[in-house]
Structure 1
Amino acid sequence: MTYLAHTAHAQLGALWLGFVGWTLTAVALGLVQWRVWQVSDREVISSGVAWVGLWRACFNSHAVVTPGFMVMHCRYISPTEAFTPPEIVAGQVLTLLSLLVGLCGNAAGVYALRNVYMGMDKNSPIRSAFFTTGALCLLAAVMSLVPLLWNMSSVVNNQTIKFPPEFKMPPAPDSQHVGSGIGVGLVGTFLMIVSGIIFCTYRLPGRSRSSLRGEGSSPDSRGTFTSSGGKHNPAFESHEHL
C-alpha cells in the first residue's frame, strides 16, 4: 500500500468547492429571480415588480385574492409551450443535466480521495480518478454557464416574453435587469470550474532518491544492510574491527 494523503490537500479543498458550487447551481435552478421586470401598471402587479425564472413567473398582487391581502401569484412555465423562449428551455434542460453530471463528479471525487487517504494498491487508477472528477466538474460548469449567459444576454438586450393571458403578465416590461438567480448560478459555476481545474492538475509524486537507494539494499551475513549496487569502503571496515 502507498500513502499519498499528503499529496491531495488541494483536491480535498476542491471537493468542498465543487459541492458548494453544485449546491448553488441547484438553488439557482429553483429561484424565480432570473429576470426582474419593472412594470408601471400596478392594477394587477401591485408591487410593480415581476420575476421570471426558469420554471415560474411570479409577482405580488392584491387583485388576484381577497382585497386587503397580498399574495405571490405564480404560474408554471412549461418547456413544451409555444411562448417559452429557447433560452429558458435550454436553462431547464442544461441546468438539470449540470446537476446530474456535477453529482457524478462529486461522487468520483469522494472515490478518488478515499483511495488516497485510505491507502491505494500499486495498480489503483488514482491519477485517472482525479482527472475524471475534474472533467465531470468542468462539464457540469459548462452546462450551467451556457443558459446563464444566454439569459443574461436576453435581459441586457431587453427581450420580452409573450405570456398567455392566464399569467396576467404585461406584454413587455418598462425595464428589466438581471436577478439574483443568475448571480447565484454564476458563483456556483465559477466554484465548479476552480474545482475541476484543481482536480485535473493532480500529479503523483516522483520517487525520491532515498527510496531508490533503499530498494537496492540487502542484508549481509552479519545482518547489516549494504547496498547491492554500491562499493565497499575498506577504511570503514578496518575501523569497525578496532
Structure 2
Amino acid sequence: MAYLAHTAHAQLAALWAACVGWILISVALGLIQWRVWLLADRDVVSSGVAWVGLWRACFNSHTVVSPGFQAMHCKYIDPTEAFAPPEIVAGQVLMLLSVLVGICGNAGGLYSMRNVYFGVERGSVGFIATGALCLLAAVMSLVPLVWNLTSVVTNQTIQFPPDFKLPPAPAAQYVGCGIGVGMVGAALMVVSGMVFCRYKAPARAKPGTPCSLVPASRPAPTGLFTVLKGKDNPVFELHEHL
C-alpha cells in the first residue's frame, strides 16, 4: 500500500475551506438581510427598517404581527407571483442548487482524501471532479449574489402586494449581511475548487524497475551482515522428493 498522505496537504486545507464555504452559503440562503430598506413612514413599520431576503420580507411592528414571530411581520415571497423580482426568483433556485452541488463536492472531497490517506491510488480524477463541483457551486451562488447586489446599488424597487405592508420604494436601501455571508462562502468555494483541481498524483514506478533497500550512494554492508553464497543441502532436497 503506497503512502500518499504527504501529497495532499493543500487539498486537506481546501476540504476545510469547502466545508466552511458550503455552510456559509447555506446560512446566506436562509437569511432575510439581503436588502435592508429604510422607510420614512413608521406607522406600520415601527423601527423604520425592513429586511428583504430570498424567501421572506420582514419588519418589526407593534401593530401588525405574524403568528410565530414576536413583534415581527413576515410574508413569504412566492416565486410564481408576478411581483417577485427576477433576481430573487433566480436566487431561490440557484442558491438551493448551489447548496446541493456543494454538498456533493464536499462528499467527493472526503472520498478522495480517504483514498489518499488509505493509500488507494485513484489518480487525480477524484480531486478534479471535486474541484469542478466546488467551482460550479460557487458560480451558482455568485450569480444571484452579484445580481441582488447590483439591484441594491442601483436602488431597484419591488411592487409588493398590499398584504406585505411595504411601500414599493424605500427612502434608502443598502446591502445586508446575507449577501456578505454568501460572498465569503462563494470565495472559499472558488479557492478550494482551484486547489482541488491542481492536485497531481505521484508518478508510478515502471514495471520491472529493480527496487533496492540500500541507497546507491552508500556502500553495501560488510562483515556479519554480508550476504554469503551458501551451498545446497542434499538432506533437504531428499526430504522434498519423498
Same fold (TM over 0.5): yes
**Corresponding residue for residue 209 of structure 2:** 215
Q: Give, in angstroms, the shift of residue 216 of structure 1.
A: 2.1
Residue 127 (structure 1) aligned with residue 124 (structure 2): yes
- Aligned mate of 2:188, from 186, 191, 200: 191
Distance 1:63 1:136 in 2: 47
- Give the SS at the match of 1:119: coil
Residue in structure 1 matching 2:139, options 129, 138, 142: 142
Letter paired with 2:210:
G
**Corresponding residue for residue 27 of structure 1:** 27
CA distance in 2, matches of 1:95, 1:119: 36
Aligned partners of 1:95, 1:162: CA distance in 2, in Å? 23
Aligned AA (1:92): Q
2:156 to 143, 156, 159: 159
CA–CA distance in structure 2, aligned partners of residues 5 and 57 of structure 1: 48
- Is residue 76 of structure 2 the alignment partner of residue 79 of structure 1? no
Contact 2:50 2:57 in 1 (8 A): yes
RMSD, aligned CA: 2.2
Report Cα offsets for 1:17-56 as digits up to 9, x if no partner.
0000000000000000000000000000000000000000
How far apart in 2 are the matches of 1:98 and 1:64? 35
Gaps of 5+ in 2: 217-227, 229-242
Aligned ranges for residues 163-174 of structure 1 at < 5 Å? 163-174=160-171
Work out whether residues 64 and 72 of structure 2, in 8 Å CA contact, stay in contact via their aligned partners in 1.
no
Aligned to 1:235: none
User: Is the CA contact 2:142–2:186 (under 8 Å) kept in the aligned structure 1?
Assistant: yes
The aligned residue for residue 90 of structure 1 is: 90
Amino acid of the structure 2 residue aligned with 1:189: A
CA distance in 2, matches of 1:217, 1:166: 79
> In 2, Cα distance between the equivalents of 1:90 and 1:18?
23
- Alignment partners' CA distance in 2, 1:97 and 1:29: 11
Q: List gaps (5 residues or longer) in structure 1.
A: 219-223, 228-240
Identify the residue that residue 197 of structure 2 maps to in structure 1.
Answer: 200
Give 1:3 shift: 1.4
**Equivalent residue in structure 2 for 1:181, among 175, 178, 182:** 178
Aligned to 1:46, the other structure's residue is in SS state: coil
Shift in CA distance, 3/40, structure 1 to aligned 2, threshold 3 Å: same
Partner residue in 1 for 2:48: 48
Residue in structure 2 matched with residue 37 of structure 1 by the alignment? 37
Whether the 8 Å contact between 2:21 and 2:188 is mirrored in structure 1 is yes
Deviations 1:60-97 (A, max 9, x none): 001115xxxx7111000011000000000000000000
Instruction: Name the CA distance, whole Å, in 2 between partners of 1:169 and 1:29.
Output: 22
Structure 2: distance between partners of 1:129 and 1:2:
17
Distance 2:53 2:12 in 1: 34
CA distance in 2, matches of 1:108, 1:59: 41
**Residue 217 of structure 1: how far off its partner (Å):** 5.3
Q: Supply the distance in 1 between the matched residues of 2:38 and 2:190 (Cα, whole angstroms).
A: 33
Taking the aligned partners of 1:206 and 1:64, their CA distance within structure 2 comes to 68
Q: Percent identity?
A: 68
